Structure 1
Amino acid sequence: MPLEISKKDNKFYLKGKINSETVPYFISFFDKIRSKQIIININNIKEIDKLGLLTIYNFLDKSHINNMLFSVEGYGCKEIYDYFQEMKIA
């Protein structure tokens, strides 16, 4: 299933998978956005592989450096943030 991205009320709703096949699209889509705030909703994401997690982590990290907000919301976001905390500790 490809990755679909739609926007509503200043949030981006993702549907499908964030994996090695869809990461290039994810990166090119969000690299073009010049907003100081990007919120992605992952309620309709069926799979995120390791490369997908690393890509989200890189966007979060880059947003802190550039004084931006890149936020993940929806089912599974707590597990993602917990995983990122483990990465920082290791």
Structure 2
Amino acid sequence: MSLQISEQNGTFHLNGKLNASTLNFFNTYFEYNLSQEKSIVVNIDKVIEIDKNGVEAFRNFTKNAFLNQKVFQIVGNGCKEIYDDFNQTNVA
């Protein structure tokens, strides 16, 4: 399954896998949207798989948004690996 991104009421919904094969699409899509918006909310309820590249992409978007005084927010109950990674980073 590939990665699908849809927007509903200002929230971007991810559906599928965020891995090396879908990362370029993900990065291009959110680089553009983050350059146009002050705040991005990404719902990961339907993310069924994420690899280390996908987790790193989320980390980079969060960092870049902060440095540019913007918001990149991840919501939903999708892949636990995302939250585990962010929690480990915040503890260290």
**After TM superposition, is the score higher than 0.5?**
yes
Task: Judge conservation of contact 2:47–2:78 (CA < 8 Å) in 1.
Answer: no
Distance 1:24 1:15 in 2: 16
2:67 is aligned to 65
Q: State the shift of 1:37 in Å.
A: 0.5
- Specify the alignment match of 1:13 in structure 2: 13
Paired residue secondary structure (1:32) = helix
2:27 and 2:81 mapped to 1: Cα distance?
Answer: 21
* Corresponding residue of 2:89: 87
**Count of aligned pairs:** 89
Q: Which segments of 5 or more consecutive residues in structure 2 lack a partner in the other structure? A: none
TM-score normalised to the size of structure 1? Answer: 0.90
Is the partner of 2:47 in helix, strand or coil? Answer: strand
* 1:21-40 pair list within 5 angstroms: 21-33=21-33, 34-40=36-42
Amino acid at match of 1:58: N
**TM value normalised by structure 2:** 0.88
Query: 1:75 pairs with 74, 77, 88, which one?
Result: 77
Shift in Å, 1:86: 1.9
CA separation of 1:77 and 1:47: change in aligned 2, threshold 3 A: closer
Shift of 1:85: 3.7
Q: Against the structure 1 CA distance between its residues 64 and 26, is the aligned structure 2 distance closer, same or farther, given a 3 Å change threshold?
A: same
